[in-house]
Structure 1
Amino acid sequence: MATDGNQRATIFARVAWGTATLEPDPARRQGWTVCVDGVPQSYVDLADPTHLAFGYVRRVATVLRSAASAAVPMTVLHLGGGGLTLPRWISATRPGSVQTVVEHDPLLLAVVAKTLPWPESITVEVGDAREFVAAAGTDSYDAVVADVFQGAAMPASVAGVGFAAEVARVLRPGGVLAMNLTDLPPLSYSRIQAATLRAAFGDVALIAPPALLRGRKAGNVVLAAAAVSGDLPVSVLAAAAGRDPRPARVWHGAELTEFLGGAKARLDGYT
């Protein structure tokens, strides 16, 4: 596929939730940052799809690595597209993987497709994340990545126990969910969301930088979940998170329970 990826001018486009910009990285010849209303959403290096610039993306990648041995193809559902950073990474590191991306914003997809075209092996659909999961077959995926936002917030349709239960249903035995969310002190949203996943999954872990967990800053929290208690390789996740250029902590079990502080799962109209 042809690409405009060597252009060095910032690209502007109206999208469903504001204005998207594709900003060239002066340090990497084919590196681009995808922003919506000035907020960075994705980073894509067309020359090196294994380059994961954002810390939270590397943490999601760590969760996905735990779902299968290195280089083994996977069947992955990505809810939320952005610049398709992780689908590109999986295509490069696990050839033969079957991937579906569901993105609600066709205007964003259009500008990404023109400037940052993705591999033809990745299937991209315009649609609603909740509706897509509800229609999917049981035991369909090795992993589900939930990175769904309307503006700066996760929509209610993918934040409740009903959605979590649907994701648990479509995962194959041993499959994992990796969910990205944003939060700010005192991390009330993260506590509720972790409690919500615990209501549908047997094993849940939270991964985030220490400064965020101490309530000193806002940022991204990644939640990992598996159907059966003990299915998450917590020691592997913790080791990988600790080796990251921006180290993160993994809270699990009693430590996660203490963090939740009695937070209750979020119910929704689908439960």
Structure 2
Amino acid sequence: MKRSVLLVVLFSLCLHAFATETKLMVRAKAKDAKFVGSSIGGAHIIVRNSINGEILAEGVTSGSTGNTGLIMKTPIERHSQLTNDETAGFLAVLDIAEPTFVRIEVISPINKRNAQVHASTELWLIPGKDILGDGIVVEIPGFVIDILTPNTHQYIPLESIKSTGLDLKANMVMMCGCPIEKGGVWDSEAMEVKAIVKKDGQTFGEFPLDNPSRNLFATNLKIDGAGHYQILVYAYDPKTGNTGVDTINCVVTE
């Protein structure tokens, strides 16, 4: 038994001795937008051995969202590089002794749970054969939507909104945090943004939201009675297929 344990230990030491440092750049890129970086909190990256699930590297992307002109306005040819040293990414440094099939898991954006997307891909890593430059780019579809007013579980006296209506405001950005506005690179006029409102579990109505200023979407809801209200705001871009949702509940009291 002792001899067997010794052989296992020696084998493990040999593998470690022959392990080669291998670098892998991983980036998360918002669909129809730029890279997920420090400005929105980054994307969480996990690199696993696909066979046994062992985590080989883990971290968060950091850096800038990248060059807007290059990413969004320049025709991209084969082998063109979209990134530079400032562009957001996570550099995984692994020690592997043999070709290893890995699974790259991306959770993005890490700090916005209501918009969080879990995406992944797999590939072979070869010892000493670095994958740098743009690296492995994982696409993250969607929008980040945050309802600003009314607040979650807010109690609102009916008398206070009977004549003026209830202001509904939401903030919306691309998954990288890039701005959305009328006539902008990410043009709100090409997107459908609506609120679906329920009162006491029953459909109350659907209401389009306007975009009065950068990232802000708003409308005014005519509330006719007390009750428990659920407000869901969704966005849809028919050209890209990007979608996003946020939901809050509030109470209108007599």
With normalisation by structure 2, the TM-score equals 0.24
Larger Rg: 2
More strand by share: 2
More helix by share: 1
